Structure 1
Amino acid sequence: MFKWNQHKSYLQIVTFLFSTLLFSQSDVKLSSFFLTPLTHNPAYAGSYEGISITSLYTSQWVGFDGAPKTLFFNAHGTFFGPNTGIGVEVMHDEIGVTTDTKFLGNYAYHLQLNENWRLALGIKAGAVWYSVDYNKLRIQNPNEFNNFEGTLTSINPNLGTGIYLHNKDFYLGFGVPNILNSTYIDSYNTTLANSRPNYYFSSGYKFNLQDDISLQPSVLFRMVKGAPLSALFAGTLNWQDKMYGSLNLDLNATAGGFVGIRFAEKFLLGYSYDSSINKFSGSNGGIHSFFLNIRLEDFWQRERCGCYTF
């Protein structure tokens, strides 16, 4: 029979591998999804009439060792003409002993369907660095598992696409950030994780309550093979494009809110907090997100997209 410390070692490794497999099947999900629309749809690039630069840091499941931490950076705008959108993204995600880093470019072409409607077609391409640091594993007797040492890094291509229909008050989008199936293996050809395509459907409508106040309900659905349908909802108040407040809901997972203040015309600082509403609600400190957006003026004088343009 195995000794207890051997049982514990096997249990830790199996738990690690299982959690890694589950994690890598799905993209990072944020309840404040409206803050980073370029992440799940490349056709969003250039939907803002100027240049928009966004940074977002989020810490999830506060209080757990190895809890997810994610840093987003993206910038997009219109270049070479009023119908051409270009954007770049960097995303670094940490969970447990794994890190996932993406460097991506986005291109979108915006078609003027009529006086009110525009349709954008987009593509996303880049590379993904997936790493596992075995040195962070707590193994009781390291001599029993000589294969589990050092850091393993795997590089895979990323290719995505999307479509975006909008006018000044409404938007409807479909995006697949990565259409490729990727397999991450170690030096012994052991499969550590599999990455599967995530399919996103998004929509929202802006209601003008008064001349200087608007309310925008929005929704994001995510589908991925092997996982249940994910539905996220948000309702955002906007006062004079200077103050923002929203209530956010990820069904069966989290509920929370976001507040943001724009100053000096170009800068927006924001913070969101989400709390678990499932059986884990008493076991973690929630999700904290810090947001910074910089907007530069429009050169082409285009009609702004009805979506909140971050």
Structure 2
Amino acid sequence: MEIKLGVSTWLWSSPFTTETIALFPKIKEMGYEIVEIPVEDPALIDVKKVKEALDIYDLDVTICGAFGPSRDFTNDDSSYHNTSFEYIKSCLAICNDLGASFFAGPMYSAVGKARLVSAEQKKIEWDRAVTNLQKVCKLAAAQGLDIALEPLNRFESDLVNTAEDALLLIKDINNPAAKMLLDGFHMNIEEPDIVKAITLAGDKLIHLQVSENYRGTPGTGQTRWDDYKLGLEAIDYKGAVCIESFTPNVKELAGAVCIWKPLAESQDRFARDGFKFLKKWAANTTN
């Protein structure tokens, strides 16, 4: 399986700033071809300096978003929608400046918005997400970009939890720029059948994030990596596979994702061992 492997800078730090490019030589030395940049605050990023660093270390880039409480396309208050639009516009500009082909994340709603609501309320919020994401897709398509919508587990979202949910959202958005990102951590909670979920996503799947079932180093947990391989091969997947996990050393981020203790001996060890495992997995020599 010919894929490029990447790693999110969230594994080491948060938020991403211009100074975070200090991680790039290490990421390259470990063998990664892609660095995933999570944009929490666009104002913290000097895209010219980041682009220079990407070029120096010959790294491709993917860009994903962070959708906290103020970035919520489903909120009753339209000011939240405006905040989301302004943020996404900035992120699309970063994608263009750094050479990314899509902007990824759970941009349909605020992360952590997980409630038991009536079918009527859910329909209202779903329709708001569709209407707003139709506008986002027009913005992205006009710049030659796609968006990759990410399902989240039930503890982080009550709107889009599975590949099937994401496909329904994409269908309702009805714009070719609307694509999908799948994250193995969320899939291991929500998907009864990993192969079926990936094949269902099909050509809409343009990005895959991975970690172990407990957010740890790939290859150290209960994840059915064989099923991921079967699914990706079935759809002739050509996108990247990027490790996304987090450090307990950044308290605000660790609290948001409920990581209360180290998941590896060190974050460097996490990244290095994860790369080695995924390289063998992609080459079908894990056994």
* TM-score of the pair, normalised by structure 2: 0.34
Q: Which has the larger radius of gyration?
A: 1
The answer to which structure has the higher strand fraction is 1
Given the two structures, how large is their TM-score scaled by the length of structure 1?
Answer: 0.32
